[in-house]
A and B are shown apart, each in its own frame.
Chain A
């Protein structure tokens, strides 16, 4: 089975969901023109990243009667979409979220589980921590979504792998830092781990990232797709807006796993037993 996967790396207007929606609709038109099956937007693509006190004013819950999600859900009749936004629950908790939209429906919402609150990051000050990591079924098979810091914790993609995800879809608003080598240090780190996950889990790993500036922080773009052998199959440009559309052959997963049946051999009960022992210790990380 082939999946024509489109990765959008866009700049956003900080705190202006209407302006960002319009950019999404333009990218959707272009992705449709290129026969994309699934179009992925980066983290917080509908709002901008460093929202601080704007967070509550840009929150939307994905539903047909929501003015931002109505046109996106309508667009999802033609191609599946992943969009980044601020979700709000009935008790006014705010989450950094990704929604998977397909055939006019919201198939899955992921709330960012790991909110970096250190160094230049301050997410935990403004957002609630997500509390589940689940794969979900789509017309292209079972997929999993993670947002930026989520995939710096190996347990997150590991759980999605065990939960049946064969394509991991990662989104980021990753600020560029480190300017020694050929590319941004932050790009090197992200590409290393995404490539490793693809190889370790024998899955496709796709990643897309914001571009543009917010005050003195810039985002470096550089969307990538790694195949189940850990080979790079698509790479968007750094530092500029782009739509990278690539046909991936999902049967590659079967071929790689015939050669390398590490999923089959994964000893989940052993993992569970050892985790229980480690966590029952009074000082689990000592």
Chain B
């Protein structure tokens, strides 16, 4: 049986405890995060506000000139509801300075530039606000590699990275995230009318059920097909998972010495704390 439902109260307690503990152990008490107007960053922001206190969370809206006005409005709804600190830092000027270097740049390149401009803004504000960058990537997009490396995937800690998109929705409802944020079609909003599901070619609902079998339940591809999934869909998803493994790892270091970072120099981040 495919059951993605969560105990939302317990999940909420564990994730807020994680944010408080891991930010505290790094020597900080504040968080910075990018608020897109979408459900993932809304949930991360609500968890951070509950964990650290609203006054210790800085939510930053970073619109590009083509961003949907709804995104800004929805982010503002959440800022008002939670009472977190906020800034609006448009990235149009910085992104366009690079985009203008080449005619006919592809949407993918522009989208990557925007995601990485936002990363620069967040890490700059991290230093200014003395807060750690809290990640907003969910398990579905991490597994599918639907993320810009060193862009939206960049963060100090990620409280929602083990929640599938459908579980993010469940948590968002439990935490009373404003309905328009929960109900709208998920979008990276990198160009007009882009939707995640349009770009991926399948719905989160479908793919989460398949990922749950493949990853959590360790089903073989054949067993997934027996469970009722289309063989082509199973193949596509498995290929995506494998192809984007590099986005889930630090870059490999070529081993020369007897002791090498990443192979046999092994310590947790929480070392000594």
Closest CB in chain B relative to A179 CB, distance in Å: 5
Q: How far is the CA of A114 from the CA of B116 in the complex (A)?
A: 46
Q: How far is the CA of A16 from the CA of B265 in the complex (A)?
A: 18
Contact B271 A14 (CB under 8 A): yes
Q: How far is the CA of A228 from the CA of B256 in the complex (A)?
A: 58
Q: How far is the CA of A218 from the CA of B20 in the complex (A)?
A: 13
Q: How far is the CA of A179 from the CA of B3 in the complex (A)?
A: 11
Q: How far is the CA of A215 from the CA of B272 in the complex (A)?
A: 12
Among B17, B265, B273, point to the contact of A218 (Cβ < 8 A). B17
Q: With a CB–CB cut-off of 8 A, which chain B residues contact A16? A: 272
Contact B7 A218 (CB under 8 A): no
Name A53's closest neighbour in chain B (CB-CB). Answer: B266
With an 8 A cutoff between CB atoms, is A214 at the interface?
A: yes
Among B14, B269, B270, point to the contact of A179 (Cβ < 8 A). B14
Interface size class of B (residues with CB under 8 A): 20 to 34
Contact A14 B272 (CB under 8 A): yes
Contacting residues of chain B (250-272) with chain A, CB-CB under 8 angstroms = 264-272
Q: How far is the CA of A177 from the CA of B11 in the complex (A)?
A: 11
Q: With a CB–CB cut-off of 8 A, which chain B residues contact A216? A: 18, 22
Q: With a CB–CB cut-off of 8 A, which chain A residues contact B21? A: 212-213
Contact B265 A176 (CB under 8 A): no
Contact A213 B267 (CB under 8 A): no
Q: A53-B267, A182-B7, A183-B10 are in contact. Are A218 and B272 (CB under 8 A)?
A: no
Closest CB in chain B relative to A173 CB, distance in Å: 13
With an 8 A cutoff between CB atoms, is A13 at the interface?
A: yes
Contact A239 B269 (CB under 8 A): no
Contact B273 A13 (CB under 8 A): yes
With an 8 A cutoff between CB atoms, is A138 at the interface?
A: no
Interface of B, helix, strand, loop or mixed by DSSP: loop
Contact A179 B10 (CB under 8 A): yes
With an 8 A cutoff between CB atoms, is A180 at the interface?
A: yes
Contact A239 B14 (CB under 8 A): yes
Among A176, A180, A183, A213, point to the contact of B270 (Cβ < 8 A). A213
Q: With a CB–CB cut-off of 8 A, which chain B residues contact A218? A: 14, 17-18
Q: A181-B7, A182-B7, A213-B17 are in contact. Are A52 and B267 (CB under 8 A)?
A: yes
Q: A180-B5, A180-B7 are in contact. Are A215 and B268 (CB under 8 A)?
A: yes
With an 8 A cutoff between CB atoms, is A15 at the interface?
A: yes
Q: With a CB–CB cut-off of 8 A, which chain B residues contact A180? A: 3, 5-7
Contact B269 A215 (CB under 8 A): yes
Q: A14-B273, A215-B22 are in contact. Are A184 and B266 (CB under 8 A)?
A: no
With an 8 A cutoff between CB atoms, is A50 at the interface?
A: yes
Q: With a CB–CB cut-off of 8 A, which chain B residues contact A176? A: 14
Q: With a CB–CB cut-off of 8 A, which chain B residues contact A214? A: 268, 270
Q: How far is the CA of A114 from the CA of B4 in the complex (A)?
A: 32
- Top 9 nearest A-B pairs (CB, nearest first) are A52-B266, A213-B21, A53-B266, A215-B268, A14-B270, A214-B270, A179-B7, A179-B6, A50-B268
Using A182-B7, A184-B10 as known contacts, list a sample of 7 further A-B pairs with CB atoms less than 8 Å apart, ordered by residue number in A.
A14-B271, A176-B14, A180-B7, A216-B18, A218-B14, A218-B18, A239-B13
Chain B interface (Cβ < 8 Å from any Cβ of A): 3, 5-7, 10-11, 13-14, 17-18, 21-22, 25, 264-273
Chain A interface (Cβ < 8 Å from any Cβ of B): 13-16, 50, 52-54, 176, 179-184, 212-216, 218, 239
